[in-house]
Structures are given as structure tokens and as C-alpha cells.
């Protein structure tokens, strides 16, 4: 072989090698991105949170899982009205303080939940010593004292509050869009406005959210949007909408989920998915908790596992598409065995709604969520 021919062959060999390396690089770039933890996987999108309780904090294994995967937390129950002030003027800070201190020590952001809710609020808030409903002026005075006290206590660590929770009715035929709660019976929708005003007085830097479930249902979605839009036009400091996200493997559809996010983002700059879980029970979602639905126990079959993974995949794909509106995604609890849906009370069916199983191991849904 002549020297000239050898030079040509060497150049050809180098070219083939370079093309092969380029193809390999291109092929690798097309592989789904995957990281081993949630917060790093979504560092360029939104913060990832979970709801905590004392059982979580008392387990070193669960604490390790929390600090590995989450950079935002929410007190599941311990900052709600009744747990913090069961009797007027008598405050119970023990568990709430533990959660706040956990957030401070681990440099994890803390969402406050919640200031005003028709559930888990002690009867003294609404009634006088004779058992009669108080005037709205008395109600507002009590609300202001409660809100100012708790918001001021945690303003160094809480970056956002669910100020009013679940004030819109689920009755699509109701002429009045509001839930007929005791708050509403005393003060109409003014209690919502006052709650936001009081929270903003207490901490002008905190992000303030209206929070609700079944928020992708078109009728309820529109009512939430209309309420927030109207109140913001009055100057009420509502900074965001909390979409609770208690879904199941077949609902919401992608179209329903997208439309809700797109509508809400027209009226607020911040959307948080505040209580995310995806139950395998298709007979309920949102706030529904039917104790007896069928005679059989729901099991996490291969089919159910695949359906749940597909639903989580869709939800996170849509949320990534709307990263300029979605600022936080919080799971409601840490793992299946600790979920509010799966704590065994009576003969409640299991739902297996989260990304980690009873043994704190990642499920198929986890792999879908972190691979994109």
C-alpha cells in the first residue's frame, strides 16, 4: 500500500470514529433524564414538598427520605385552627414548633396550612357562652387574633400560607357558589376577604393562597377563578391558588388539568399543587372518603401500578410545561402506608396513592416522575 493510500485510509478511519462518537452523544442526549431524588430532578422547574406529621419526624428512616427528596414541607394537621387553639386563648404549639424547627434545622422551606377552614376549627370560634352564633364583628376579631398570632410565630420560616381552605361548594346546581359553612352563615364571603387581609397584615412578605379540591372540575374551577378574580379586583391580597391535587388514576384528564392551570394562571402568578396524591380507587377523588365501596380489597395489581405511573407521568409532564406558573408541588404525606387515604380505619379500602411504598421504596410512579 502506498503512503498516499495509507494517509487516505487514516483520514477515513478518523472520520468514521468521529461520526460514531457523535452518534453516541446524540443517542445519549435523547435518553430520558433521570436523577435519584425528586428535588434535584425538578431543580429547574419547581420545589417539591410533602406533608409531615409526628410519626414521620419520629422515624429516622422517614426523616432520611424526606431530607433526600424534598425541599418544601407542610404540617399535615398541626398548624390547623383546632390543633393550635383548641380553646380560645389557649395555644398548643408543641407539634407545630417541632415541624417549624425541623424546617429551620434542615434548611427546608415551610408552607403554612391552614388559617381558616370549616373543618378542624373549634366551636368557640363561632359561638358565644350561650351557644348562640356570634356577630360577624366578633367572628372577625377572633379570626384576626388567631391569624396574627400563628402567622407572627412562624413568619421567619413559613414562606406561604393556605389562608382559606375549601370555601367553594361542590354542588354544581347551587345558586350561591360558596359552601354553606358556619363562617359563611355568619359573615357571607366577607370572611374570606378578612382572612387574607389579616394574614397580609401579619406578614406582608408571605405568599397567600386560596386552596381547594376538585379544582379541575370545570364548574368548580370556574367558580374558584371567578371568586379570586373578583376579590383581587377589590384589592384583596390573594397571591396564589392552591390546587389540592387529590386525584385518581383516571381523573383528571390531561385536558382538564391543562385548562385549570391555564385559567388560574390568568388571575394569579403563583400556582401550588398543595396536596398531591393519585389513588387507584377510581370511585372517588378530591375530598371524598367512602369507607365501604365494594366487598373486595383494592390491590396494587400490575395494571393498577401501570395506570398510576401513567397518570403521574401525565401530571408532571403538564406541570413541567407550565413551570412559569407552577411554583411548588407538594405530596400529601410521605409514603403509601402513612397516607391519609391508607391509614387503616375500619374497612377502608387501600389506595396506594404516593410515590413510595409501605417499605419506603420508590414505585414505578417515582421512576416515571424523575425520568424525563
Quote the percentage of the chain above a pLDDT of 70.
Answer: 86
What confidence score (pLDDT) does residue 22 get? 40
30 pLDDT above the threshold of 60: no
User: What digits encode the pLDDT tens for the residues 111-128?
Assistant: 999 999 999 999 999 999
Which positions are catalytic? 166, 275
User: What digits encode the pLDDT tens for the residues 279-293?
Assistant: 998 766 676 555 444
Q: Please, are residues 197 and 207 in contact by the beta-carbon 8 Å criterion?
A: no
User: What digits encode the pLDDT tens for the residues 144-160?
Assistant: 999 999 999 999 999 99
26 pLDDT above the threshold of 90: no
User: Whole-angstrom Cα distance, residue 337 to residue 333?
Assistant: 9
What average pLDDT does this structure show over 306-310? 97
Q: Please, are residues 241 and 195 in contact by the beta-carbon 8 Å criterion?
A: no
Whole-prediction pTM: 0.89
31 pLDDT above the threshold of 90: no
What average pLDDT does this structure show over 290-306? 71
Bin 179: left if φ > 0, else alpha if -120 < ψ < 50, else beta: beta
Give the ranges where the chain is alpha helix by DSSP (H): 3-29, 38-41, 54-57, 60-69, 81-84, 94-106, 136-153, 182-187, 190-202, 218-233, 254-264, 302-321, 364-370
Lowest mean pLDDT among 20-34, 89-103, 235-249, 281-295: 20-34
Amino acid at each position: 500500500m502506498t503512503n498516499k493510500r495509507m494517509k487516505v485510509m487514516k483520514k477515513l478511519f478518523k472520520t468514521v470514529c468521529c461520526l460514531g462518537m457523535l452518534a453516541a452523544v446524540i443517542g445519549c442526549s435523547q435518553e430520558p433524564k433521570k436523577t435519584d431524588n425528586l428535588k434535584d430532578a425538578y431543580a429547574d422547574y419547581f420545589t417539591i414538598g410533602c406533608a409531615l406529621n409526628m410519626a414521620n419526624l419520629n422515624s429516622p428512616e422517614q426523616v432520611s427520605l424526606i431530607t433526600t427528596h424534598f425541599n418544601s414541607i407542610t404540617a399535615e394537621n398541626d398548624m390547623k385552627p383546632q390543633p393550635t387553639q383548641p380553646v380560645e386563648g389557649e395555644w398548643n404549639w408543641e407539634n407545630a414548633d417541632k415541624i417549624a424547627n425541623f424546617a429551620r434545622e434542615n434548611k427546608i422551606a415551610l408552607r403554612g396550612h391552614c388559617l381558616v377552614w370549616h373543618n378542624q376549627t373549634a366551636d368557640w370560634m363561632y359561638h358565644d357562652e350561650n351557644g348562640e352564633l356570634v356577630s360577624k364583628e366578633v367572628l372577625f376579631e377572633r379570626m384576626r387574633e388567631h391569624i396574627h398570632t400563628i402567622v407572627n410565630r412562624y413568619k421567619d420560616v413559613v414562606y406561604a400560607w393556605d389562608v382559606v381552605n375549601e370555601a367553594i361548594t361542590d354542588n354544581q346546581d347551587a345558586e350561591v357558589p360558596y359552601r354553606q359553612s358556619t363562617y359563611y352563615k355568619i359573615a357571607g364571603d366577607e370572611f374570606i376577604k378578612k382572612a387574607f387581609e389579616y394574614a397580609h397584615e401579619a406578614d406582608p412578605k408571605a405568599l397567600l393562597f386560596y386552596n381547594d379540591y376538585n379544582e379541575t372540575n370545570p364548574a368548580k374551577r370556574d367558580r374558584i377563578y371567578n371568586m379570586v378574580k373578583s376579590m383581587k379586583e377589590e384589592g384583596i391580597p390573594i397571591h396564589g391558588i392552591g390546587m389540592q391535587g387529590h386525584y385518581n388514576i383516571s381523573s383528571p384528564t390531561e385536558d382538564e388539568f391543562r385548562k385549570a392551570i391555564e385559567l388560574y394562571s390568568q388571575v394569579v402568578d403563583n400556582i401550588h399543587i398543595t396536596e398531591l396524591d393519585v389513588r387507584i380507587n377510581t370511585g372517588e377523588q378530591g375530598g371524598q372518603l367512602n369507607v365501604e365501596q365494594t366487598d373486595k380489597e383494592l390491590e396494587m395489581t400490575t395494571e393498577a401500578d401501570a395506570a398510576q405511573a401513567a397518570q403521574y407521568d401525565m401530571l408532571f409532564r403538564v406541570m413541567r410545561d407550565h413551570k412559569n406558573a407552577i411554583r411548588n408541588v407538594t405530596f400529601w404525606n410521605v409514603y403509601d402506608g402513612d397516607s391519609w387515604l391508607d391509614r387503616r380505619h375500619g374497612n377502608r379500602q387501600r389506595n396506594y396513592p404516593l410515590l413510595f411504598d409501605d417499605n419506603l421504596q420508590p414505585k414505578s410512579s417515582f421512576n416515571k416522575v424523575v425520568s424525563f
